[in-house]
Structure 1
Amino acid sequence: MKRLFFIVLALAFTGVVGFIGMFAWFAYSPVALRHSPLDFTIEPGSGMRQVARQLTEAGIDTWPPALVLLARVTRQANGIKAGSYEVETGVTPLSLLDKLTRGDTSQAELALIEGWNFRQFRAALDRHPDLRHDSTGLSDSELLARIGADVTHPEGQFFPDTYLFARRSSDLDLLRRAHHQQRKVVQREWEKRSEGLPFRTAYEALILASIVEKETGQASDRPLIASVFINRLRSGMLLQTDPTVIYGLGPAFDGDLRKRDLTTDTPYNTYTRPGLPPTPISMPGVAALRAALSPPSTEYFYFVAKGDGSSSFSRTLAEHNRAVARYIRKQQP
């Protein structure tokens, strides 16, 4: 009887050792992949069993029950982070779990360009294949509410930059980041502003910066362009800037700005209305904000494009008319 007990005990021990050996072999052996590299996504709220199933469906040849057990033994089952991941040949179940618990997601990127308006921002988001398009069907006001923005108009409220994000992230999350960054940048630059500027609020400075952004063809001209508009605001002159008129036309603008467009009154027509338009007209970058808030002291009231991306600046209308004759009329038949 005692001998039988020891035989059973020995068999049990051998079985445990064998199981541990097989389990270790499973944990450290590379898994087969449908192809390499392989992208897959762990959906938010997934439990470990769901994670194991998603991995198998994505093309990772692992045994789900064993992977679930490994996650529990290593205390990683409750630490899996949702997101998009990429694995290559040689990945093991243990290294795969490590990757999932670290949140070592694969990243995509999207460039939001200085000078774009919000309509262009939304179009870029809608086109991106690696974003989850949660903003689809939302009006601008609904979108602003969803990201927690305490503003009524989206223009100028998002920082133009290249954003990295985990694949399958929400486009609302990216917009929330861009909005928070723009608020931080505007406040920082506002606090460093020059004295005596014709702005009552940081929002007014943001409006002018958006105009400077659209009027700038060459970066070195940006501060001088800002100085022209500052001088005009101080003296009560009309800003008379085409980009505001174009913005007011919206999608109806066909690329050809006509005389009737300049004389038709709209809230954004700075040829017919004094002062700044009611909102920004684009997403200005840091350089445009700094130009608007720390412009050089000049006597310029006019500028005209020279045709090479740069501008010619004038102090008087007579000088400006001569510059127009030189740089504009010669370009037209």
Structure 2
Amino acid sequence: MTTTKKFPKLLGITIAIILAVGLIVGYKIYQIFLGASVTDAQKYLFVYTNDTYENVLSRIRTDNVVKDADEFDYVSKAMKYPTSVKAGRYKLEKGMSNRRLIGNLRGGYQEPVSLRFSNIRLKEDFAGFLGRNFEQDSLQFLSLLTNEAVAEKYGFTKDNFYTMFIPNTYQIYWNTSADKVIDRLNEEYKKFWTAERIEKAKQQNLTPVEVSILASIVRGEALHNDEMPMIAGLYLNRLKRGMLLQADPTVIFANNDFSIRRVLNRHLTIDNPYNTYRYKGLPPGPINMPPIVAIDAVLNPSNHNYIYMCAKEDFSGYHAFAETVAEHQINARKFQKALDERNIKR
């Protein structure tokens, strides 16, 4: 009788224990799969092209990407991620679950790089910038940017290839190969040069490449965007008259000394095709990466008769323009005096 009464009680306790354990296990599994896992230690998880699952897991452990790497490993294997590793730059959000993170990794749902660039002076600088933003390093990009065959493939020369890169913001995946990044920027170049822009270039008797080369000089001269059309108009007047451009930024570029603040006669003697004090017409390539505002200034220049300009003596960054040598000499003496007063000798 006693045994009979104890059995239901023991059964009830056993069932209660099983249910409790089931709830605990179920909750634990829920937490492992769907609970908050990703930390705020890293903003992105980078998975490289030849990475194995072991590489990815090791990086997750080392960089403290998740709270518990063993739990991540368990869920990864349950979701068959080890056989579906895909390269990419994956956005990490604090509190993201293992299941969501692994789902993104398995599906290759990476966040593209928002590639924004401007005011990059040299190809070497641009290659470094690209190398910092993509999986492939700067040397791979530089080898393309300085390769004559690559430039010719896109319809440029080695000297003017840099005009193909239009400063803007582009969405490109991090693991895109270097040659495909260049392909993409070429597509953007072709979109930029609309029929309207090409027609405006023709009206100035220039090709798109020549527009960009002149725009790089305008950019080199102008500290203020609102003055660019005036400067563009001046250089276009010089080109139409067959005059030397005599642009100081080209001399600085030719001397490869960007610390020069005062162009002197000794700087003008360098025998270099970029020295527009010695060589007539446009230089063979751009002296910087001109922004769109400078390109559009060349396409939409101010209409005037100025052929001389000199920085204003107030160091405002604006220029004093002149139609005659006499007027220009007055402006130049004012600026030279201001330089002397500030003891700017070079």
Q: Which residue of structure 2 aligns with residue 67 of structure 1?
A: 75
Residue-pair matches, total: 311
> How has the CA–CA distance of structure 1 residues 278 and 228 changed in structure 2, closer, same or farther, with 3 Å as cutoff?
same
Secondary structure of the corresponding residue to residue 125 of structure 2: helix
> How has the CA–CA distance of structure 1 residues 210 and 115 changed in structure 2, closer, same or farther, with 3 Å as cutoff?
farther
1:206 aligns with 2:209: no
Q: In the aligned structure 2, how far is the partner of 1:231 from the partner of 1:76? A: 65
Q: Which residue of structure 1 aligns with residue 47 of structure 2?
A: 42
Q: Deviations over 1:29-50 (max 9, x none)?
A: 33375x6456532232556676
How far is the alpha carbon of 1:145 from its aligned partner?
Answer: 3.5
Q: Which residue of structure 1 aligns with residue 225 of structure 2?
A: 219
Secondary structure of the corresponding residue to residue 41 of structure 1: strand
> How has the CA–CA distance of structure 1 residues 184 and 245 changed in structure 2, closer, same or farther, with 3 Å as cutoff?
farther
Q: Which residue of structure 1 aligns with residue 104 of structure 2?
A: 99
Q: Deviations over 1:94-124 (max 9, x none)?
A: 1222333465546776753336232333354
How far is the alpha carbon of 1:204 from its aligned partner?
Answer: 1.3
Q: In the aligned structure 2, how far is the partner of 1:282 from the partner of 1:134? A: 22
Secondary structure of the corresponding residue to residue 304 of structure 1: strand
Contact 2:38–2:93 (CA under 8 A) maintained in structure 1: no
**Equivalent residue in structure 2 for 1:120, among 109, 116, 125:** 125
> How has the CA–CA distance of structure 1 residues 226 and 95 changed in structure 2, closer, same or farther, with 3 Å as cutoff?
same
Secondary structure of the corresponding residue to residue 211 of structure 1: helix
Q: Which residue of structure 2 aligns with residue 314 of structure 1?
A: 322
Contact 2:86–2:108 (CA under 8 A) maintained in structure 1: yes
> How has the CA–CA distance of structure 1 residues 145 and 236 changed in structure 2, closer, same or farther, with 3 Å as cutoff?
closer
| Structure 2 gap segments, 5+ residues each | 1-17, 342-346
Q: In the aligned structure 1, how far is the partner of 2:115 from the partner of 2:201? A: 34
Secondary structure of the corresponding residue to residue 332 of structure 1: helix
Q: Deviations over 1:163-222 (max 9, x none)?
A: 6766677777666555543453245663251663132x2211111111111111221110
TM-score, structure 1 as length reference = 0.74
One-letter code aligned to 2:89: G
Q: In the aligned structure 2, how far is the partner of 1:184 from the partner of 1:225? A: 26
Contact 1:40–1:58 (CA under 8 A) maintained in structure 2: no
One-letter code aligned to 1:96: L
Contact 2:252–2:258 (CA under 8 A) maintained in structure 1: no
Q: In the aligned structure 2, how far is the partner of 1:202 from the partner of 1:165? A: 25
One-letter code aligned to 2:233: S
Higher helix share: 2
1:159 aligns with 2:162: no
Q: In the aligned structure 2, how far is the partner of 1:46 from the partner of 1:119? A: 29
Q: Which residue of structure 2 aligns with residue 235 of structure 1?
A: 241
**Equivalent residue in structure 2 for 1:249, among 252, 255, 268:** 255
TM-score, structure 2 as length reference = 0.72
Contact 1:189–1:293 (CA under 8 A) maintained in structure 2: no
**Equivalent residue in structure 2 for 1:136, among 116, 135, 139:** 139
> How has the CA–CA distance of structure 1 residues 281 and 66 changed in structure 2, closer, same or farther, with 3 Å as cutoff?
same
1:268 aligns with 2:271: no
> How has the CA–CA distance of structure 1 residues 106 and 202 changed in structure 2, closer, same or farther, with 3 Å as cutoff?
closer
> How has the CA–CA distance of structure 1 residues 253 and 49 changed in structure 2, closer, same or farther, with 3 Å as cutoff?
closer
Larger deviation: 300-309 or 99-108?
Answer: 99-108
| Structure 1 gap segments, 5+ residues each | 1-13
Secondary structure of the corresponding residue to residue 256 of structure 2: helix
**Equivalent residue in structure 2 for 1:29, among 31, 35, 38:** 35
> How has the CA–CA distance of structure 1 residues 65 and 259 changed in structure 2, closer, same or farther, with 3 Å as cutoff?
closer
One-letter code aligned to 2:104: K
Contact 2:135–2:176 (CA under 8 A) maintained in structure 1: yes
Secondary structure of the corresponding residue to residue 298 of structure 1: coil
Q: In the aligned structure 2, how far is the partner of 1:228 from the partner of 1:313? A: 9
- Percent of paired sites with the same residue: 26
> How has the CA–CA distance of structure 1 residues 253 and 149 changed in structure 2, closer, same or farther, with 3 Å as cutoff?
farther
Q: In the aligned structure 1, how far is the partner of 2:108 from the partner of 2:223? A: 42
Q: How does 1:150-189 map to 2 (within 5 A)?
A: 150-151=155-156, 152-153=158-159, 154-161=161-168, 177-187=184-194
